[in-house]
Each structure stands twice: as C-alpha cells, then as structure tokens.
Amino acid sequence: MALIKINKVPVVLLTFISLFFTSLNIAQSMETIYLWANQVPNEINKKHDAVKTENTSGNVTRLTNVTNPVLEVFKPDTTTNNGAGVIICPGGGYHILAIDLEGYEVAKWLNKLGFTAFVLQYRVPENRLGALNDIQRAIKVVRSKSKLYNINPDKIGVLGFSAGGSLAARASTNFNNETYSKFDEIDNESCKPDFAVLVYPAYLNNGNNNTITPELTITNQTPPMFIFATADDAYSNKGSLVLSKALMDSKIPVELHLLPSGGHGYGLRKGNIAAETWPVLVEKWLKKSI
C-alpha cells in the first residue's frame, strides 16, 4: 500500500518525528533533584537508580532498592502558582514505593490546585532511618530552592500515604532531631514542615497497647495536620485516632476524617468512595490552613 506524502515526506516519517520531539520535550520538562551529592548517610550500598519491580498489579508502578534518593519536581502553571510547595511521600510498607498511584498522580492533582509538588523517592526497602534522613534533607532542599520555584519558604508541607504517611508524621515530629551529620549550607535550613496531610497513614500506634508510636513526639511546635482514614482499614484506623488524640491533647490543630469504608491503598483513583472524598476535603483544608 502506498504511503500518503506531504511535500514528498511520508506521513509515517512525520508521525515518528512528531513523537520523537514530544518524548524529548517530556523528558526535558522533568526535573530531578538528587538529595545527596556525595555519600548518602546510613547507606551501605552504592548509588544507583531505583529499580522498577515486576509487580504491576492494580495498574501500579512500584519502585524498590532506592540508594540514591531524589525529588521529582512537578510545577503548576505560572498563572495558578499559589506560592506553596508539597513534598509527596508514596506508600509501600517501607518495602516499595507506589510511585504513580501515590506520587505522580497526586503531584499532577496538586499542580491543578496551584501547588509546586515534589515526589520523594526515599530509601526502601527497610531503611527507616535512611528514609527519615531523606525527608529531612528534602524539606531543607526545597526550602533552599524556594525562590527558584516561587515558593514561600514558610509554606512547605508534606503529604504521605500509608508508610509515606508514617514518614510524613515522623518528619512533623522529629524536626529537632538531627538524624545525620550536616553536609553543606543547605543543612542550615529548617527541616520542619509547615503542614502535614496524612492519608491512610500506617505505623502510628506501635506503642504498648496500641498507644502512639514512641518516635512521634508531639510538642507545641508540631505543625497542623489533616488525617484521613477509613474504619475498615486495619493499617490506619486506630493509628489515625491515636495520633489525632495526641495532637488534640497538645492543642495542635488537627482535622480527622474517618469514613466507614474504602479500604487501603486507593490513592485518588475513581471508583472508590474514599479516593473520591479525601481530595475534596484536603483541598478545602489546605485553602484555610496555609
């Protein structure tokens, strides 16, 4: 079958060229910030790119073996930039990162609201100290680059899902705890989040008899929090209640929502009542809290 030609150039060739430059533009628009220029603290393995697992069940892309933590930057339209930044911590039980479901998709949603979003690839599997190092460094890095991204340095928050919710809570309660030795001037910045959003957060009630995880020390400096969970989510329901009570006892602003059903690990994908509910509530909370 003959190819249709436009000015003697085959349509197939034109299509290939168009796709090539479209892919090139996408690649160039993705900005990646490596958190650690030199040695990564509390890491014995060599630096390498995160490994994509073979498990894609639920149409979810999963990363593991993170040894060179990064922030991937998602910028809002310049006309809608609200001057605030959010560091997103995907979940995955501290074993993997559900990088699209609880990372990239959420970043694009935040962009529509005017936020500059930063998806954090923190260390997995099972390097919880390393993960805390990573989020503390990430907050400092974003704060140090606030002018570059047109962000108010006093409007930098964290948003986490499941284990990422645990990590966001740890960052919000351990900002006075130096978990690694300072490397450069960036480490003179504060690693305290200005606000925190925890969506089906895990590992919050690991104290004796389901009390608050001892690492989560609430003080009058703890930032305000939004917490969302469902009653049928065994990973998150009790912990969300325990943390909310601790925040209330210390008079820290907290908004808790507990739906009857919805389960765990839904992100903001359609077809789940919880997934369709929390974004609406978070948007309202963010507008009045930052």
Quote the DSSP letter at residue 148: T
42-61 residue pLDDT tens: 999 999 999 999 999 999 99
pLDDT given for residue 23 in this prediction: 36
The answer to whether residue 8 scores a pLDDT higher than 60 is no
The answer to whether residue 27 scores a pLDDT higher than 50 is no
The answer to whether residue 267 scores a pLDDT higher than 70 is yes
Q: Which residue has the tokens 């008899």?
A: 209
Q: How many beta carbons lie within 10 A of that of residue 207, not counting itself?
A: 13
CB 75 within 8 A of CB 111: yes
Q: How many beta carbons lie within 10 A of that of residue 47, not counting itself?
A: 14
Q: Enumerate the H helices of the chain as residue ranges.
A: 11-29, 105-112, 128-144, 163-173, 237-249, 273-289
pLDDT given for residue 253 in this prediction: 98
Q: pTM of the full predicted structure? A: 0.90
CB 138 within 8 A of CB 87: yes
Q: How many beta carbons lie within 10 A of that of residue 99, not counting itself?
A: 22
* Residues in a beta bridge with 5: 10
Architecture of the structural domain at 58-289 = 3-Layer(aba) Sandwich (3.40)
* Residue 168, C-beta contacts closer than 8 angstroms, at least 6 positions apart: 89, 135, 158, 159, 160, 193, 196, 197, 198, 201
Locate 71 and state its tokens.
């922030």
The answer to whether residue 20 scores a pLDDT higher than 80 is no
| Boundaries of every domain in the chain | 58-289
pLDDT band (50, 70, 90) for residue 182: very high
Question: Which whole number is the average pLDDT over 163-182?
Answer: 97
Question: Which whole number is the average pLDDT over 26-48?
Answer: 85
Closest by alpha carbon to 169, among 229, 232, 125, 96?
A: 229
The answer to whether residue 12 scores a pLDDT higher than 80 is no
* CA–CA dist 173, 192 (Å, integer): 8
Locate 114 and state its tokens.
């005017």
Locate 225 and state its tokens.
């929090």
* Residues in a beta bridge with 256: 227
Question: Which whole number is the average pLDDT over 186-203?
Answer: 98
Instruction: Give me the chain's average pLDDT, please.
Output: 91
